Amino acid sequence: MSDDSRGTPAPPTSSDLAYRQVLDEVGAFVYTTDLQGHYTYANRLVLDLLRPGLRLDEVIGKAFTDFVKIDEDAELRQTDIRVLRDGETIYREEANLIHATGELRTYWSIKKPLRDADGAIVGMIGISHDITDKKRLEDAVRRHKDLLDTVLDSVDALVYMKDADGLFLYANQRVAQAFGRPAEAIIGCRDADLLPPEVAARFREVDRRILATRERSVSEEAVRDATGRECHYWSVVAPCAAPDGTPAVIGFSTDITELHELKEELQRQARTDSLTGIANRRTLFVEAQAAFSRSRRHGHTLSLIAIDLDHFKQINDRYGHPTGDEVLRDFAQACLDCLRKEDLLARTGGEEFCILLPETPLAHANATAERIREVAARICPGGRDTAPVTASIGVTCMEPADASFDQMFSRADKALYAAKAQGRDCVVAL
């Protein structure tokens, strides 16, 4: 590809034609320019790109800007200047608008200076690979990934993927918030790096079982978050394939902490007397039946105290119901101060209470009842100068002939009424 003295391209030799044929088949855009940026050579891909059917002789001596829209001060032009003037070799991605088709194409280009035998720069050689389709695919993948990330980060659930070795492959922002670290810092970690050992071991066992059986797991889980608060999750963990095709698990954990707390509160309310905060009648009978069975099975004693505050209606009538409620709360607290933590105090009616005392013989239960009667007398509804509260109390202990707790309860009730019949403010044991 030599020129004559007038700058007219010399006819190509057989060697030139052989080189051109090779360059036409390399699958890349190959061209050379002089110092002014005029083409001195372009292979078939370059010619067809500039204009389908274009001949080499129609390109030689023309500039890139004759075919591609570009401002003189544009970045692409500045790149060429750096090669031709400064002798740099440039590797970069370029986007060019082709005049003939009006299409924007993207290339990965290498531009190097051409030098003569003395090392002086005489032009530039460029080799470009069309990555338009690849770029479009990458952009589409990136858009889909961004969309998927947006969706998964907006889902009100912890979403994650772990490989067969327990390494996190993906974690959405909910997972990041739960662990108190960026999602990127979770990738590559194991449960043991993020959770207490016993919790991590439990999760790892679940993952192994899922991978072995290929069956999903559905369960409620309790985990402490980054602030130390116990959170409850409804988790669905299923087998799947990792991006490389290897076995993995994917998990979706929905935060049900508020629902769990509500359920706990409703259960507490179902077990508790709302006024005094102690157990209610239903809880007493459930717990007492279980205690009765344990005591019978192990040969332990079991005692029961039944209490009725004397003339309570008069307190309500004289001082009002708010004062009556305060008396009930004060009396419940006074009883608790006399009991062990294993004893159960329950409000079984308006001013009626029962105390279940496991592993307690009748004599000890009777002594406890007397203490309660004495502390009740310290409660004065109208102040220091008013009459104190008194209580009638019945006490009983499990007997060999008792077939159920109901018989104990009935006997304690009889003892209570016996105390009332004896003038109230006393303890009767049966």
Please tell me whether residues 186 and 127 are part of one structural domain: no
Pair (353, 399) in one structural domain: yes
C-alpha closest to that of 401 among 263, 297, 296:
296
| Same domain? 29 vs 91 | yes
The β-bridge relationship of strands 427-429 and 391-397 is parallel
| pLDDT tops 70 at residue 7 | no
| 385 in a structural domain | yes
pLDDT for residue 14 is more than 80 = no
Same-domain check for residues 283 and 417: yes
pLDDT value of residue 6: 41
Is 204 in the same domain as 289?
no
170 and 33 within one domain: no
The answer to the question of residue 3 being in a domain is: no
CATH number at residue 168: 3.30.450.20
Q: Average pLDDT, whole number, for the chain?
A: 88
- Number of domains the chain is built from: 3
Burial class (CB in 10 A: 0-12, 13-18, 19+), 392: buried
- CB of 162 within 8 A of CB of 242? no
Q: Look at residue 425 and tell me whether its pLDDT is greater than 50.
A: yes
Residue 351: pLDDT band with limits 50, 70, 90 = very high
pLDDT at 2: 45
Asked, for residue 108, whether it belongs to a domain, the answer is yes
Which pLDDT score, from 0 to 100, does residue 70 have? 59
367-388 mean pLDDT: 87
Give the per-residue pLDDT at 49: 81
Closest CA to 177 of 218, 231, 217: 231
Q: Is residue 140 part of a domain?
A: no
Q: Are residues 349 and 411 in the same domain?
A: yes
Count of H-run helices and E-run strands, the chain: 14, 16
Q: Report the predicted TM-score, pTM, of the whole model to 2 decimal places.
A: 0.51
Structural domain span for residue 61: 14-135
- Which carries the bigger pLDDT value, residue 265 or residue 92? 92
Rounded (5°) CA angle 10-12-14 = 145
Can you tell me the mean pLDDT for 382-398? 87
Determine which one of 351, 352, 374, 399 is catalytic: 351
Residue 351 among the catalytic residues:
yes
Whether residues 327 and 422 share a domain: the answer is: yes
